[in-house]
Structure formats: structure tokens, C-alpha cells
Amino acid sequence: MKAIRPWSARAWLATAHVMTGPPVAFVLAGLTLVLAVVPPALRVGMPWLTRVQRSRFEAFLGVRIPPVPAAPTLRTSSLWRQIGYHLLSPLVAVVSAVMVALVWAGGLVGVSAFLPPLVQPPPLIFPIDLRDPVVLAVYIALGLLLLFLAPILARAMAMLDLSIARTLLGPSHQELGQRIETLTESRAGVIDAADAERRRIERDLHDGAQQRLVSLAMNLGLARATLRDLPEPAREAIERAHEESKQALKELRDLVRGLHPAVLNDQGLDAALSGVAARAPIPVRLRVDIERRTTPTIEAVAFFIVSEALTNIAKHAAATRAEVTVRRERDRLHVLVYDDGCGGARLDGGTGLRGLGQRIDSVDGTLRLHSPLGGPTTIEVDLPCE
């Protein structure tokens, strides 16, 4: 534990925590006993009592104790752990408060020994001759020592209380395990939903805006080709509209392709990646060995890994060639992207690779980057398929 000075804010907060302990604990223990008269009331009331203690820990110690879900039945273990804490805490709180108060008081008495006897305790209790300078010196030294010990003790007691509270008021291992399970499931749901949403937007744009734009561009093209005897300004306006509609088509196509390439759905990773590899400005050797197609989400993640990695290589690596290998081994999909560029790629550097890491994390995949300065760079990704 870091030594804390008696006059620091932390020392006062820890002391305040310990000193507010007994009154709060006694009131809450009393209320617990009252609620226990009608057991079902415990289920409703306990979260409120616990909330009081949690806010005390947060206010004085700056520590947030993770909340537990409301107990569904009277037999829920978290409910009984909370009751246990509220009944045990008066004892802990009183012992702590008394110890801390005694040490503070001893320290104050010690350092105030040089004051006139009026403010000194009566000599009945302290049969020590304070007029002897040596005794006085020892007395003050002891007082100072206690004064320095007091905040440490207060802190120690507060930490003891905190660890008990964490165990009894916070979620148990089992509850945390369940929570992780729920989170994992809901995360997978969110990711699948996001992926499905991208596919839906892609399809909507394909069926709607893109067709309409093609039709518009075609009509403008037809007008441009047939209306040759129009006045110059009108012809120019048609020409400009025609060119702009074609540009809009191209931009929309690039956008939609980035959302979700249709060929990925139709023919899988091999076909989609061969398009990506072909569009890369450097030679890319592509090997895809997948017997059974994986889920659409994993396919999409693998696709974006390769296309992001190749984009990064084109932008930063100054490579002359790259290699992409995608291989499925039972329930794992291995993706390896190699380039002979200048190396020095970092996961926390540009946005490209960081985004990659996030996407891989989101499906519980692993990413290994080997990129010494001077190259070559290898990105190895391992994704679960099932």
C-alpha cells in the first residue's frame, strides 16, 4: 500500500469512511432484521440497503462495486450474501472505527503534550511527569508516530471493509461467468445483426437507387445521342447531367461494394477475394482452401481482413508483391497476409489495422502481426468458424 500522509485528502476520506461505518451499519443491520420479519420483503428491500453501502464506498473510496441483478427468489445466493454483509458490518465497522479513533486520539494527545496542563488529560490516567524534557520528547515522538500511523490504519480498515463488501455485495464468480456468457451471446447477436443490416442496405441500394440511377443515366445518354439539334446551352446541360449521373453511379457502386460485396454471398470467399486481389495495385498471389463455407459473418470478417490488409499494403508498405492464404481447418479459419514491403506496421498506428483488430476481437478471433522495420510483414489471423 502506498504510504499516505496524515493531511492528504485520501487519508481524511478513508477516515471518514471508517467513522461513518458504525452508524450506517447499525441502521442497515436494523432494517435488515426488520425486513426479515416478512421474508419476501428482503427481496425487494435488500437492493436499496445495498445501494446505500455501495454509494458510501464510491463517495469515500472512489471504488465502484459492481451491482448484482435483483434476486429472482429468496434462495438466490447473492441475496443471502448481502444479508450477511449487512449483519456482519456493524461488528467490522465498530472494531475499525474504535481502532482508528484511538490511534488518532493517541496521536493528538501525544503531539499536544507541550501544551499547558489545562488541555492535558488529568495525571490520574497518565501518571507520567511531562515536565521531564526527555519524557516529553518521547511522548511527542510517540504522538507523531501515531499520527502518521492513523491514516494508514484507516486506509487498511477501509480496504478490509472493501474486500468484504466486494465479496458479499458484488457478483460472485458464478454470476460473472453467467454474465460473460450472456454478453458473448448478445455480442454475437449484435454482430450478426450488423452484418445482416449491411447486406440489407446493399440490397436496397441495388434494387432501388442504383437501378434508378442507371435508368437516369441511360435516358440522359439517349437524349445526348438523339437530340443533336438542340441549342448549345441545352446540349451542354444534358452533357453535364449525363457525365454527373455516370460519376454518381460509380461513386455509389464503390460505396455499395464496400458495404458488402454481392459476390461474397453468391460464390463465397474464393471468388470475392480473387476480385480484391485482382484490384490490388501490386501482384497478389491468392490461395483459398475452403471445403465447407463458413457462416456469413465469418466470411465477411475474413473478407474485410484481406481487403483492409491489402489496402494498407498498397498505402504504406511500398511492397512489390503480396501473398494471401485462406485455409479452413475443421472449426478454425486461418488467414495469412504476407508482403515484402518496408515493415514497421503497428496495431496502434494507422486506423486500418486497428479497425482490423476490433473486427477480429468481435468474433473472438486472434491476430498476430509480425512486421520488423525493413519488412517483410506477416499478418496471421485465426477465426472460429462455428
Name the residues that contact another protein, by CB under 8 A: 203, 206-207, 210-212, 214-215, 217-222, 224-226, 242, 245-246, 249-250, 253, 256-257, 261-263, 265-267, 270-272, 274-275, 277-288, 321
**Which residue lies nearer to another protein by CB, 113 or 314?**
314
Q: Cβ 310 to another protein, closest distance in Å?
A: 12
Question: Residue 103: how many CB atoms within 10 A of its CB?
Answer: 20
Q: Cβ closer to another protein: 188 or 205?
A: 205
In DSSP terms, which residues pair with 333 in a beta bridge? 328, 383
Q: Are 181 and 123 in contact (CB under 8 A)?
A: no
User: Would you tell me how many other CB atoms lie within 10 Å of the CB of residue 261?
Assistant: 20
User: Residue 25 CB: number of other CB atoms within 10 A?
Assistant: 25
Asked if 19 and 100 touch (Cβ cutoff 8 Å), the reply is: yes
Total Cβ atoms within 10 A of residue 250: 10
Question: Least CB distance from residue 261 to another protein, whole Å?
Answer: 7
Cα(first)–Cα(last) distance of the chain, in Å? 46
Q: How, if at all, do strands 332-339 and 377-384 pair?
A: antiparallel
Diameter of the chain measured on Cα atoms:
123
198 vs 253, which CB is nearer to another protein? 253
Q: Are strands 332-339 and 366-370 parallel, antiparallel or unpaired?
A: unpaired
Closer to another protein at the Cβ: 13 or 272?
272
CB of 163 to another protein, least distance (A): 59
**What is the rounded CA–CA span in Å between residue 155 and residue 222?**
84
Nearer to another protein, 38 or 222 (CB): 222
* CA separation for the pair 247, 255 (Å, rounded): 12
Based on CB atoms, which residue is closest to another protein, 149 or 259?
259
Q: Give the shortest CB-200-to-another protein separation in angstroms.
A: 12
Shortest distance in whole angstroms from residue 269 CB to another protein: 11
Helix (H) or strand (E) holding 327: strand 322-329
Query: CB 386 → another protein: shortest distance, Å?
Result: 24
Q: Which is nearer to another protein, 88 or 241 (CB)?
A: 241
Least distance from another protein to the Cβ atom of residue 266, Å: 4
